Amino acid sequence: MPHQGSCLCGKTTIKLESSHEDQIICHCWDCKQTSGSAFSTNVLAPQKDVKIDGPVKNYDIVAPSGNTVTRIFCSNCGSAISHKSVAFGDAQAIQTGNFRDFSDVPISTELFAKDRWSGLGPVAGAKQVHAMPGA
């Protein structure tokens, strides 16, 4: 099922032509800072299935792995939209907080669980990964 979402101001829209039966929570510090919260919620989508329209800005940062991560934001309201890295191959991470229909999609994995805030427990049934897979 395709998904459609938008940033806070609505000027940047995101269309995913791929289906997603689960989501990933990431507790890394970069995701915390870009989400402004304790974690981010994401799916990995094939880049060919992602269409982002509207005003965006990219920000490159070097992750602890040494890989450059390109963060994509709405340049009007600042909503985090997506991020890309060579670690994702031909996919890119899409922030699911911009999509209302992802509220019903279960969380299957928590990345950087070692950095989870102490007041938050693990998601029941989700795989707990202490760093980025393969790192």
pLDDT tens-digit readout, 76-127: 999 999 999 998 999 999 999 999 999 999 999 999 999 999 999 999 999 9
pLDDT at 65: 80
Looking at the chain, the whole-number percentage of residues with pLDDT higher than 90 is 89
Instruction: Report the side by side order of strands in the sheet with 80-85.
Output: 56-62, 68-74, 80-85, 91-95, 40-46, 23-26, 107-111, 127-128
pLDDT at 135 over 70: no
What pTM value is reported for the model?
Answer: 0.90
User: Is residue 49 situated within a structural domain?
Assistant: yes
The DSSP output letter for 42 is E
User: Is residue 88 situated within a structural domain?
Assistant: yes
Look up the domain containing 95 and give its range.
3-117
Number of domains in the chain: 1
User: Is residue 124 situated within a structural domain?
Assistant: no
β-pairing, 91-95 with 80-85? antiparallel
Separation of CA 84 from chain center: 9
Question: What number of CA atoms fall less than 13 Å from residue 8's CA on the CB side?
Answer: 9
Domain CATH number, residue 103: 2.170.150.70
pLDDT at 1 over 90: no
| Alpha-carbon span 65 to 126, nearest angstrom | 24
pLDDT digits (tens, 9 = 90+) for 9-43: 999 999 999 999 999 999 999 999 999 999 999 99
